[in-house]
């Protein structure tokens, strides 16, 4: 009965590859987010979708493309992976009042 789930939990890949991370929430929330936690542990917003519409895009390179097929899913596709993309990516969701519920994270390592 996981509230916000992400797959995969770990992802190791070579530079230049394209990869996707999936996120699903079963809380009935209408807003979903992607955050990146870098090596310095800064947790920063990347994207936010409300009812499948993009509402926040924090100057993320266009190699990153979020896709929201429905309110319960927000996937993150990354093209031409670079070393600097190595980080932990967290998905989150909320209904209102900014109480965001986070997934367990996906640790991406680019070699």
User: Which residues of this chain interact with other proteins, rule CB under 8 A?
Assistant: 4, 31, 33, 40-45, 48, 50, 56, 58, 90, 92, 94, 96-105
Residue 107 token pair? 């640790």
Closest CB to other proteins among 23 and 81?
23
DSSP 8-state secondary structure symbol assigned to residue 83? G
Smallest distance, Å, CB 104 to other proteins? 5
CB of 7 to other proteins, least distance (A): 14
Query: Phi/psi at 75 (nearest 5 deg)?
Result: -100, 155
- Nearer to other proteins by C-beta: 15 or 95? 95
Q: Which is nearer to other proteins, 35 or 78 (CB)?
A: 35
Task: Report how far residue 37's alpha carbon sits from residue 43's, in angstroms, rounded to the nearest whole number.
Answer: 4
Q: Let me know: does 93 contact 27? Beta carbons within 8 Å.
A: yes
């Amino acid at each position: 009965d996981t509230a916000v789930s992400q797959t995969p939990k770990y992802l190791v890949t070579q530079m230049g590859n394209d990869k996707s991370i999936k996120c699903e929430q079963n809380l009935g929330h209408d807003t979903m987010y992607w955050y990146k936690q870098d090596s310095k542990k800064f947790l920063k917003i990347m994207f936010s979708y409300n009812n499948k519409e993009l509402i926040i895009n924090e100057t993320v390179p266009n190699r990153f493309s979020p896709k929201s097929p429905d309110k319960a899913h927000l996937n993150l596709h990354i093209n031409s992976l670079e070393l600097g993309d190595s980080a932990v990516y967290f998905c989150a969701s909320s209904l209102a009042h900014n109480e965001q519920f986070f997934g367990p994270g996906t640790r991406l390592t680019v070699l």
